Amino acid sequence: MDRHLESSTQDQWPELFKVLYGKFKQINTHLTFLSSHSRTTIPTFEVISKLNKDISQLDLSVIKNIFPRGDVFYDYVDENQVRLGLIEKVEFSWEKGYKQKEASSIDEVYEDVENQNKRKQSEDNQLLVFEFRDVKMNSIGKKISNKGWQKYSKQKQKQTNDFFLENKDMNMDLLTTSQIVNILNSRNRKFENYVGEFLKSNKPLKDFEDECRNSIPKPPEFEDPIDQLKKRRDTKDDYMEKPTVDKMIDTLKTSDNYRNQIVSTHILNEALPARTAELVLDADDGTQIIHPELEEALFQYKGIDISHDLYIHQVEALKHIMYDAYNGKHVIITTLTSLGKSLIYQIPIINDLLWDITNEANIKKRSTTAFFIFPTKALAQDQKRHLETFLEYIPSLTQKRKILIDLYDGDTPYETRKRVRRYSDIIFTNPDTIHASILPNFDKMYGEQRDWEDFLLKLKYVVVDELHVYKGTFGVNVSYVMSRMQRIKYHLLVNDTAGCGHNIQFISCSATILNPTNHFRTICGLSDLKEIVHVKDDGSPMGMKKLVVWQPSALMNKRGEEIQSQIKSSNEVIKPQPMVPREHIIPTLAKILVRLLSEHPNIKCIIFCPIRQVCEMLMKEVRQLIRDTEISNEDIMSYRGGYSAGDRRVIERNMFEGKLKAIIATNALELGIDLSGLDVVMTVGFPMLKLNLHQQFGRAGRSGMSSLAIFVAGNTPVDEYYIKNSQELTEKNYEDPCVEGIRQNAMALENHLHCGAKEIGIKLQDVSWFCNDETLFQQTLTEKLQYDSVNETYISRVETPHLSFSIRVIEDEKFAVIDITNQRNFIIEEIEALRTSFTLYEGAIFLHQGLTYLVKEFNYESKYAKVVRVKVDWTTSQRDFTDVNPIEIELIKCLQNGKDVPIFFGRFEIIIIVFGYFKINRRGEILEAIEVKNPPIKLYSKGLWIDIPQWAIDLIKHKNLNSAGAIHAAQHAIMNVLPVYISGSVGSDLGDVELSTECKAPEKEFASRLSNRRRPARLVFYDLKGGHLGTGISLKTFEYIDQILRATYDLITTCDCEWGCPKCVCGSFCKELSQVILKPGSIIIIGVLLGIDQSTLQQVQDGPELNMPPIVTDTILGSGSSGIKMSKDVQVIEPMSQISQK
């Protein structure tokens, strides 16, 4: 055993432990046998007490507290949980798949829940359950029902790898008697060792008994978590001295759960002192530049002497923004930390407004205005709060005139909008609101004046914060919005006879970005003639930041042993090892968080999750673990999209005020929000991009304090790669935002030309505002817009083009989730329509703030779902598949390889079918499979495809390689190379957010049964956004396909891994976690498409790959596009020609 404490002599034990040890052995034997052989007996306190009537609830509490946190479950469980346990074990075989229950059976399973909202919760529907959770006993592959155990146990056992999770056939073997004995003995030894450790701690036994007595579970009382948060009281933990980074690491290493999970530790950045510079406050002629009240307010607010205390990057930026000698240039600031960035754009606008107030230029009306543009509402709220606090220190604002600051977004009440339009000096907003609300109404009369026209005429500063967020199609759309705004501004200045307008200065901040100047120019719509200053020399102080790389611990095998794999540095991806079952990433992170907060109650933590579901499941696990600690429910909250606006505001207020000990969030909080002194940041696996990872790491340790970042790896090839190559996590080589190269696409241009024409009629000479391709501009104008011969301009035929598309491609249609627990009838979330098939279906467990709700009713027509709070230990996971099928050919050309291999571009149909769902417990075990008959979701887009020549498939099979894995790997490799030809740099997240493919699922590809769902031998790529018109990225890919294929072949053949890694054929964007990936087969496919000599391809490594199951059935059909119809306007393109954008 890797880590067990030496037990003391049992005869020296206190009587409590002597007596309890005998009871423990009885409980251990009984529950281990039940968990291995029975699914019909629930380990409740009543069942256990029948073994020995002297076993008390206190005894079970002592056992739970003597074991490491999480190894023993002892709590009340909802009646629904118990009912699920009575269902016979789900059967699975590769021949027949999962045996599902009909959907109608849910009425029987949940019959008592029907009236749950009508009666008070009581002990009558809550059972007290005790269970060991240090080993997996049941899993999806169990081959026989309980009734067949005796018959099966007499049969000759198959030779196995001695691990009960999986064997090579991905099936489950029942435990032998000797294996059960080993587990029993191992657990008994653990009890002895943990008692020994307790006795060595010299903790008073009476105190321990009192703690155990107080932690005896009580039946739950359901209360909304937001209501609990509203009632919370401030704690005094912040007054305690915070631990050092090394102390926090030691805390993790001394945990009872620690089994050498820390595989490496790195320094992300060393501690550095602040570097300041002098800011001259007066011009050469003696004129004051900085208003004296601003100078005094900054000192009172932050203790900063503006002439001597500003950091060097702040001084450099302010000089270029404010001083005439520097001509008021556009400025982009990219520094490692966010410290002091907001002052760079706050000081200039406040300074201008103060001088106007002093000179009485704006007493009755606005003189200078500013847009502060933020990508999220939470970030805008945070920055508005800081600016308002700053302004409280300026006396003129209470004596003469206030500087009016407001939010203007989709949540702004209708009655407030008039005041904002007419009087606000500074507006915090987002690109979506500017696009859909402000620009289309810029010349609209409100009463007797045009409010937005007045604001835009006097607009001087446009702050675009978190520039790296504006990438891909979203970035392209924002770029067009900024260009449209500048076009309106130009027309207003031309007609400004009073001379009260200003030229716009753009100011932008970002922490992590590639090619910042070019990206800034593109997003803000600045021409090549506009001068841009890039400020990058960071003068702010930095505390020591360490990175801990954590691999979840191995679970016990059949012999009761815990096996640790050896990690060696390599470029090879370690695929999840079926012989070493590991703890799931969610309970791992929950234990880390609770351990740190329990030992250091004054620290503040944040955990970043990749998707909403993980966020909620982690929150659920944390709530389970903190029940026996001093951490309260309102100390930890989750934050993500979908919550109601009111709930978001309550959570945000508590975050900003530093009242929460921990936050579990999606990437909504990875931006520059000040979360009041975070000490620890954790990530749930690799978050798609290095850019996002470092953005998340940067949330902790601001203001020069030391901090800890913890990267917890999941069971995916990408995470396993970074376990072996953890140094790469520290390298600051970031991905390309991919905007510059795809801005000139016909669909986006057409959308914004319609919008621009509604704002001001468009003329041919307006081409510079919209694109660099004059031919494309003129073609789109003449074909898509209408010419107004009277005004000699082009106008839009679309009534409201601003509302016809979303710049983020976000669904507007949403479904309300209504909590009916205790007749509450309150909307707790709003879910996008596309998500409903995956989250809202009758019988599903819906997670909100980590709490479980049972979906009682889903009404598609009325767009709502009713849920009731339940206390169950399982969740639901939909079973679905996606077919990506080309349906119409619009363009054809041959590859430039002399082999007449055609490539097609055209319309795609994407069919998503949810055909059932699993009920899954906390250990990831499938408890039941339910069938549902939801209608398929059909989406349409544009894309390209290549039919793989038959001889390539034949060669793959001849070399005993998996065809599906080869196709999947080839598609991923192409997507990894794609940014080279779209924006001039490798490493984009384009494959994740813009372009998609058909990923191969292991459940189907490794099946031993013949699947009816066989897919063509075809490489497919389609635009993930943009609706049926697509985004233009797949068309760009079609244009450069020859160069892309050549670069792909060079990439995978020169990569020094053997079977595949994230540098060549794996991708963090893979929906199936890159588990069906085969690099050698991808070399054959790409090589055949390029016309590489067959003798060269014959040298590719033979299969099978060691970590892949054997190939039993073929899931790939022959290639060919004969069944796909031709468009009436189909074009055949010569190989060397360039494709003009449609």
**811-829 confidence digits (pLDDT tens):** 446 788 898 887 778 888 8
Give mean pLDDT, residues 126-131: 86
pLDDT for res 335:
81
pLDDT range class, residue 395, cuts 50, 70, 90: confident
Q: Give pLDDT tens digits for 475-491.
A: 888 999 999 999 999 99
540, pLDDT greater than 90: no
Give mean pLDDT, residues 828-849: 77
Strands 605-608 and 662-665: parallel
What is the DSSP annotation of 1039-1050? HTHHHHHHHHHH
pLDDT for res 150:
30
Six-digit token pair at 312?
């060097």
pLDDT for res 114:
36
The Cα–Cα gap between 965 and 575 comes to: 13
- Mapped onto helix, strand or coil, the DSSP state of residue 35 is helix
6, pLDDT greater than 50: no
pLDDT for res 828:
85
Tracing tokens 């968990």 back to the chain, one arrives at 35
pLDDT for res 134:
76
pLDDT for res 944:
92
180, pLDDT greater than 70: yes
The Cα–Cα gap between 155 and 144 comes to: 13
Higher pLDDT, 755 or 166: 755
pLDDT range class, residue 105, cuts 50, 70, 90: very low
What is the DSSP annotation of 362-386? SSSS-S-EEEEE-SSHHHHHHHHHH
- Mapped onto helix, strand or coil, the DSSP state of residue 7 is coil
Nearest to 1116 by CA among 996, 998, 975, 983: 998
pLDDT range class, residue 20, cuts 50, 70, 90: very high
Q: What percent of the chain is predicted at pLDDT more than 90?
A: 26
Give the number of other CB atoms < 10 A from CB of residue 859.
12
pLDDT range class, residue 118, cuts 50, 70, 90: very low
Lowest-confidence pick of 59-68, 732-741, 850-859, 1021-1030:
732-741
Q: What percent of the chain is predicted at pLDDT more than 70?
A: 77
For residue 538, give the DSSP letter: -
pLDDT for res 157:
33
Six-digit token pair at 602?
């004054």
104, pLDDT greater than 50: no
Give mean pLDDT, residues 917-936: 73
240, pLDDT greater than 70: no
The Cα–Cα gap between 1116 and 730 comes to: 40
CA Rg, the chain, in Å? Answer: 32
Element (H, E) at 1052: helix 1041-1054
Give mean pLDDT, residues 571-598: 73
Higher pLDDT, 1043 or 1010: 1043
Asked if residues 1032 and 750 have their Cβ atoms less than 8 Å apart, the reply is: no
Distances (CA, A) of 886 to 746, 967, 970, 1072, 1090: 21, 17, 18, 21, 23
Asked if residues 501 and 493 have their Cβ atoms less than 8 Å apart, the reply is: yes
Asked if residues 549 and 713 have their Cβ atoms less than 8 Å apart, the reply is: yes
**Fold assignment, 328-535:** Rossmann fold (3.40.50)
Give mean pLDDT, residues 711-722: 80
pLDDT for res 983:
45
Give the number of other CB atoms < 10 A from CB of residue 788.
13
Can you say whether residue 383 is alpha, beta or left, with left for phi > 0 and alpha for psi between -120 and 50 degrees?
A: alpha
- Mapped onto helix, strand or coil, the DSSP state of residue 607 is strand
Lowest-confidence pick of 231-245, 581-595, 611-625, 948-962:
231-245
Rounded to 5 degrees, what angle do the CA atoms 180, 186, 188 make?
Answer: 105
pLDDT for res 1138:
43
Higher pLDDT, 107 or 644: 644
Helix axis angle, 746-759 relative to 774-784, nearest 10°? Answer: 60
Distances (CA, A) of 990 to 908, 976, 981, 1046: 19, 8, 12, 19
Q: Give pLDDT tens digits for 957-985.
A: 888 888 888 888 898 888 877 765 554 33
Asked if residues 582 and 551 have their Cβ atoms less than 8 Å apart, the reply is: yes
Nearest to 226 by CA among 821, 830, 651, 846: 651
Tell me the residue length of the chain.
1142
pLDDT range class, residue 291, cuts 50, 70, 90: very high
pLDDT for res 526:
92
Give the number of other CB atoms < 10 A from CB of residue 684.
25
Q: Phi/psi at 226 (nearest 5 deg)? A: -70, -35
Nearest to 512 by CA among 989, 909, 83: 989
pLDDT for res 7:
47
Distances (CA, A) of 242 to 138, 705, 763, 988: 43, 10, 63, 38
112, pLDDT greater than 80: no
Can you say whether residue 357 is alpha, beta or left, with left for phi > 0 and alpha for psi between -120 and 50 degrees?
A: alpha
pLDDT for res 1006:
45
pLDDT range class, residue 705, cuts 50, 70, 90: confident
Asked if residues 979 and 1054 have their Cβ atoms less than 8 Å apart, the reply is: no
Element (H, E) at 711: strand 707-712
- How buried is residue 241: exposed, middle or buried, by Cβ count under 10 Å (0-12/13-18/19+)? exposed
- Mapped onto helix, strand or coil, the DSSP state of residue 851 is strand
pLDDT for res 1069:
63
pLDDT for res 752:
92
Beta bridge mates, 918? 877, 929
Give mean pLDDT, residues 632-661: 81
Count the alpha carbons within 13 Å of 1026 in the hemisphere toward its beta carbon. 31
Cis amide prior to 1104 (ω within 30 degrees): yes
380, pLDDT greater than 70: yes
Report the CATH superfamily, name and number, of domain 225-269+544-730.
P-loop containing nucleotide triphosphate hydrolases (3.40.50.300)
- Mapped onto helix, strand or coil, the DSSP state of residue 946 is strand
Give mean pLDDT, residues 133-159: 37
pLDDT for res 498:
83
Return the domain boundaries, the chain.
Answer: 10-214, 225-269+544-730, 328-535, 746-797, 814-872, 887-908+940-1133
164, pLDDT greater than 70: no
Q: Taking the mean position of all CA atoms in its chain, how far away is CA 84?
A: 31
- Mapped onto helix, strand or coil, the DSSP state of residue 528 is coil
pLDDT for res 735:
63
Higher pLDDT, 848 or 645: 848
Distances (CA, A) of 789 to 761, 768, 776, 780: 11, 22, 21, 17
Asked if residues 163 and 581 have their Cβ atoms less than 8 Å apart, the reply is: yes
pLDDT range class, residue 574, cuts 50, 70, 90: very low
Beta bridge mates, 407? 428
Q: Give pLDDT tens digits for 544-559.
A: 899 999 999 887 554 5
The Cα–Cα gap between 957 and 543 comes to: 56
Give mean pLDDT, residues 342-367: 88
pLDDT for res 426:
96
Give mean pLDDT, residues 606-616: 85
Q: Phi/psi at 506 (nearest 5 deg)? A: -95, 135
Tracing tokens 């001093």 back to the chain, one arrives at 630
Element (H, E) at 756: helix 746-759
pLDDT for res 898:
52
pLDDT range class, residue 146, cuts 50, 70, 90: very low
pLDDT for res 510:
80
The Cα–Cα gap between 804 and 812 comes to: 11
pLDDT range class, residue 3, cuts 50, 70, 90: very low
Q: What own/partner pairs with CB < 8 Å and gap ≥ 24 does 403-410 have?
A: 403/350, 403/353, 407/377, 407/380, 407/381, 408/433, 408/437, 408/438, 409/377, 409/380, 409/433
The Cα–Cα gap between 225 and 232 comes to: 11
Nearest to 975 by CA among 1100, 1070, 1089: 1070
The Cα–Cα gap between 705 and 728 comes to: 24
The Cα–Cα gap between 1082 and 935 comes to: 35
Lowest-confidence pick of 662-676, 900-914, 932-946:
662-676
Give the number of other CB atoms < 10 A from CB of residue 1128.
7
Within 8 A by CB and 6+ apart from 884, the residues are 908, 910, 943, 996, 997, 998, 1020, 1022
Higher pLDDT, 902 or 875: 902
pLDDT for res 115:
36
Lowest-confidence pick of 78-82, 538-542, 791-795, 920-924:
78-82
Higher pLDDT, 455 or 163: 455
Higher pLDDT, 844 or 338: 844
pTM of the complete model = 0.66
- Nearest-10 Cα torsion for 78, 84, 86, 87: 170
pLDDT range class, residue 738, cuts 50, 70, 90: low
In the predicted model, what is the mean pLDDT of the chain? 78
Element (H, E) at 205: helix 205-214
Higher pLDDT, 859 or 558: 859
Give mean pLDDT, residues 347-356: 93
pLDDT range class, residue 326, cuts 50, 70, 90: low
Lowest-confidence pick of 463-467, 911-915, 1086-1090:
911-915
Q: Phi/psi at 945 (nearest 5 deg)? A: -150, 155
148, pLDDT greater than 70: no
Can you say whether residue 876 is alpha, beta or left, with left for phi > 0 and alpha for psi between -120 and 50 degrees?
A: beta
* Same-fold call for 225-269+544-730 versus 328-535: yes
Q: Which amino acid is at 165?
A: L
Q: Give pLDDT tens digits for 400-415.
A: 788 999 999 888 888 8
Asked if residues 128 and 75 have their Cβ atoms less than 8 Å apart, the reply is: yes
pLDDT for res 493:
94
Asked if residues 347 and 403 have their Cβ atoms less than 8 Å apart, the reply is: no
